[in-house]
Amino acid sequence: MLAVGGPSLGAALVLRFFVGVCLAGVYPPAMKLVAGHVSERARGLAMGVLVGAVTVLVKGPELDASVVLLSSSALAVLGCLLVAVFVVEGPYARPSAPFDPRQIGRVLRNRALLLANFGYCGHMWELYGMWTWVLVFLSSALASEPTSTAQWLAFISIGVFGCIGAVLGGMFADRIGRTMTTMVAMLVSGACCLATPWIYDTDLAIMAVFSAIWGVSIIADSAQFSAAVTELAHPDYVGTAIALQTGLGFLVTLAPIWTLPWLAETVGWRWVFVVLAPGPLLGTWAMARLREHRDAIKLAGGRR
């Protein structure tokens, strides 16, 4: 409807709101379904593939916005058909429990889950601030280059290296542990945040390498927070725990998405990404504390 209807701004905002609601409605159930098909020893990779799919974007030279919207809609319809025809609950899934809002309190009182959620919120503080504004940052830093250069760098950083990072993060998490993988990824991506003022004046080749490293590291940990929740939560209420984590994480993204352009008006795009660094650094602290928690033995089949 956005692509072909030519709606007014008000109607477009309403339509976009419902797109967001429906996207959010897909994500937690999809993670719960994935968790039901694989054991803890392979769950990191399975979740990483799922999150990697989220990063894949529709991109091409001079694509009209309506083409991107229609292509994305067609992929969503295809996904719907695949789920309707092929997807069933897996052998590791528990029977669905009746809805009980009191379980939210139970999730919030679980210290191990709280630490995993705190780590996720720190990760999300950085992720969507970077994803939303990295093109503007690159366009400002590469002002002397053709406009398409910054566009392609942003696309490759998010859509290509993001997908690679999510899958690699899952593979490593299943082998060396959830907490270790998330801590390493957040330390690297946090360092990238702090390095942006010095990268700003470099040449195109260095900027391309930097964008690739940041694109891989910023998403490598994402799926592992969700995988950790499926392992730490009570089996009957995994869906509630994942939904709560996802909701809290996306709520956190509002602050950097809205404030970074205001900050850029004062200090310029060279410096704005520095304010994202506290997110992954605090997230690293939370996952280090989780690693010491007695319930960490439940992660990745004993690989903390």
For residue 273, what are its two tokens? 């990404």
The pLDDT tens digits for 102-128 are 777 777 778 888 999 999 999 999 999
Tell me yes or no: is domain 9-91+102-302 CATH 1.20.1250.20. yes
Determine how many CB atoms are found less than 10 A away from the CB of residue 193.
23
Domain ranges of the chain: 9-91+102-302
This prediction has a pTM of: 0.86
- The encoded tokens of residue 6 equal 């030519």
Q: Tell me which residue has tokens 């809805």.
A: 99
Q: Render pLDDT for 184-233 as a digit per residue (tens, 0 to 9).
A: 999 999 999 999 999 998 889 999 999 999 999 999 998 889 888 888 88
**Most confident segment among 92-101, 102-111, 240-249, 267-276:** 267-276
- 254, 129 contact by CB (below 8 A): no
**What is the Cβ-side half-sphere exposure of residue 254, based on CA atoms within 13 angstroms?**
4
Largest CA distance in the chain: 59
158: nearest Cα among 130, 121, 137, 139:
130
Question: Is residue 247 predicted with pLDDT exceeding 60?
Answer: yes
What local confidence, expressed as pLDDT, does residue 279 receive?
A: 95
DSSP output for 65-89: HHHHHHHHHHHHHHHHHHHHHH---
d(CA 183, CA 165): 14
